[in-house]
Chains A and B, each alone.
Chain A
Amino acid sequence: GAVVSQHPSWVICKSGTSVKIECRSLDFQATTMFWYRQFPKQSLMLMATSNEGSKATYEQGVEKDKFLINHASLTLSTLTVTSAHPEDSSFYICSARLRDTYEQYFGPGTRLTVT
């Protein structure tokens, strides 16, 4: 089956620093990847849609200068949390959509803690 990896799986960083999270589709091409954020015991919240070769589309209320998304290839999208603050601490999950289908496959998630 289709596999999506995320790296790192967890990261602790100091307030004010930037953190990059990678999302890779390992065995398929993903023209579209999605980035989600999840708080404890809450549902996934879509942050942005990342299309290969074009600018990401951000959901209302998500700061694009804060959460930089790059989708440089058909198998890699990155999310960079810039100037992280403790309130950015969360679980970040990506998913990759199989080309020309509705099927999406999720990465294992990245737990970010900002101290």
Chain B
Amino acid sequence: DTEVTQTPKHLVMGMTNKKSLKCEQHMGHRAMYWYKQKAKKPPELMFVYSYEKLSINESVPSRFSPECPNSSLLNLHLHALQPEDSALYLCASSQTNAYGYTFGSGTRLTVV
């Protein structure tokens, strides 16, 4: 298995909702990442997990809450989002201290 799987592919949520994005990989990668990508923009790093521990938080608002329950799974919990949070959320993984990332196909989030 050489893929990063993200679910759901599309999500529409209201500003008072709580939802979660899920990311899964079975490549034995011990580093996992969340990126946010707005239309016509490059991906922006949000969080990095290394060996299931949060190692980088790029000053992301607390309405985004990451979780890494085990080495294969990465979640992003969403609460009280704003319409400007609408974007494509990309998950990636890599071998720790390695170079290339494998990206999932993303979750397209719309906040209404």
Q: Do A and B belong to a common assembly?
A: no
Binding site for B on A (CB under 8 A): none
Tell me the B residues contacting A by CB distance below 8 Å: none
